[in-house]
Amino acid sequence: MPRRKTAKVELSRGRLLDAAAHIFRERGYVGTTMRAIAQDAGIEAGSIYYHYKSKDELIGAVLDFGIVELLSSVTSALSQLPADATPRLRIETAISAHVSAILDNGDYMLAMRRVFGQVPAATWRRHMRLRESYGEVWSKLLSSARRAGVVRTDADLTLARLFLLGGLNWTVEWYKPKGRPIRTVTRAFSTLILDGLLVPRARQARKPKK
């Protein structure tokens, strides 16, 4: 249940934004109709235009809200850590916060995935700047772990970040509340990315054939 401000106007805008995320998630950008969003929000289609000038502005707001939620969840979790927290703990904390945030805001995250490449280019480019600032949080997390000397010296941190976030974000597609608890999932993911799947003694023969 994602909810922000509680002022009068904001409350109405919030319901609209949630409805928009929900419908964009289910139908993609072009497949979403203003009428469908309005129905989901309990108003009529024409009324949306009092809040947002266009469908384009609406998807922009959904996109940006999703990233801002992620960014603030992860940075807030990190800032609550003691100053001397180990790099390992910092990464585990970020993984946990990231996964929790994407599951808490599933409609927004799934809306982003669905509308990838469907949103007008100008809107998308504007949004990508926000998105990159979130990527920066992870880049810094990993490079400070490397400076602390706990990361394999041959690791490519860019590839590691892309792989990790890809694996984490996929969760929003398959996770069901009735299944494993979130803590179980995030702990397993942390161990996988930090320690690997294999037992240490099985680490021979690095080069694949083909």
Partner DNA sequence: GTCTATATTCAGATAGAC
Partner DNA sequence: GTCTATCTGAATATAGAC
Q: Which stretch binds DNA (CB under 7 A): 53-61, 76-84, 126-134, 185-193?
A: 53-61
Q: Of DNA, a second copy, none, which one sits near residue 205, judging by CB under 5 to 8 A according to partner kind? A: a second copy
Q: Report in angstroms how near the CB of residue 113 gets to DNA at its nearest.
A: 19
Among 45, 54, 116, 120, binds a second copy (CB under 8 A): 116
In DSSP notation, 95-121 reads: HHHHHHHHHHTHHHHHHHHHHTTTS-H
Using the minimum distance from each CB to DNA, give the nearer residue, 24 or 138: 24
183: exposed, middle or buried (Cβ count in 10 Å: 0-12, 13-18, 19+): exposed
Kindly identify the residues of this chain, within the stretch 152-191, that bind a second copy according to CB under 8 A. 152-156, 159-160, 162-171, 173-174, 180, 184-191
Q: Degrees (nearest 5) of the Cα angle 65, 99, 131?
A: 40
Q: Of a second copy, DNA, none, which one sits near residue 72, judging by CB under 5 to 8 A according to partner kind? A: none
Distances (CA, A) of 185 to 69, 72, 99, 103: 20, 21, 9, 12
Number of residues binding to a second copy, judged by CB under 8 A: 79
Distances (CA, A) of 38 to 45, 52, 103, 119, 154: 5, 12, 24, 20, 52
Number of residues binding to DNA, judged by CB under 7 A: 21
Q: Of a second copy, DNA, none, which one sits near residue 1, judging by CB under 5 to 8 A according to partner kind? A: none
Distance between CA atoms of residues 66 and 72, nearest Å: 10
Among 2, 28, 43, 193, binds DNA (CB under 7 A): 43
Distance between CA atoms of residues 107 and 60, nearest Å: 14
Using the minimum distance from each CB to DNA, give the nearer residue, 37 or 67: 37
Kindly identify the residues of this chain, within the stretch 5-34, that bind DNA according to CB under 7 A. 8-9, 12, 32-34
Question: Rounded to 10 degrees, what is the CA torsion of 89, 93, 96, 98?
Answer: -140
- Say which residue the tokens 């480019």 belong to: 125
Interface pattern 54-83 for DNA (x via CB under 7 A): xxx---------------------------
Among 3, 4, 5, 44, binds DNA (CB under 7 A): 44
Per CB under 7 A, residues contacting DNA are 8-9, 12, 32-36, 38, 43-47, 49-51, 53-56
